[in-house]
Amino acid sequence: MLVKTFSICVMALTVLATPVSSMADNDMIIIRQIEKTPEVFAKEVEDYAKKREWNFLGAHKVKKGEITLVKFCVAEVGKQLWKQGLQMSALAPCGNIGVYQKDGKTEISVLNPRYMNILAPSAEMEKLSAAAEKDVMEMLDALAK
């Protein structure tokens, strides 16, 4: 148990210590430009989440309004995750989509759900992280145009 906990901590530190630019290069941070205001995008995420029975947890302005964080959880994947133990709640497939301006354009960024399998590798977690990644990518393909 101690070895497993230590291994998870080492993997987490490895991921967290990776510079953002290289994470973006390997698709752990998904970045897209959109032609929408943060408010319109947040409403579209809310509607999308409700149609799929996901949990929409809100949109909040941070950094003095410079960034809007749009929060959602992929409910079906979460239900499967909890079968591995309630402590896995820390890895729940909930996304913070950052919506902000960069070089005069609106950009969004979200962490790729594959982080779940990186932090707690197992055959089951690989399936769950792949399912969550598919769901998030489908949402981005539908909304981030």
The pairs formed by 55-59 with CB atoms below 8 angstroms and a separation of 24 or more are 55/94, 57/94
Q: What percent of the chain has pLDDT over 90?
A: 70
Q: What is the CATH class of 2-143? A: alpha beta
Looking at residue 11, its pLDDT comes to 46
CB 26 within 8 A of CB 101: no
Report, as an integer, the average pLDDT of 24-41: 87
Domain ranges across the chain: 2-143
Binning pLDDT at 50, 70 and 90, where does residue 145 land? confident
Q: Enter the pTM of the model.
A: 0.78
pLDDT score recorded for residue 25: 54
Q: 8: pLDDT confidence band, cut at 50, 70 and 90?
A: very low
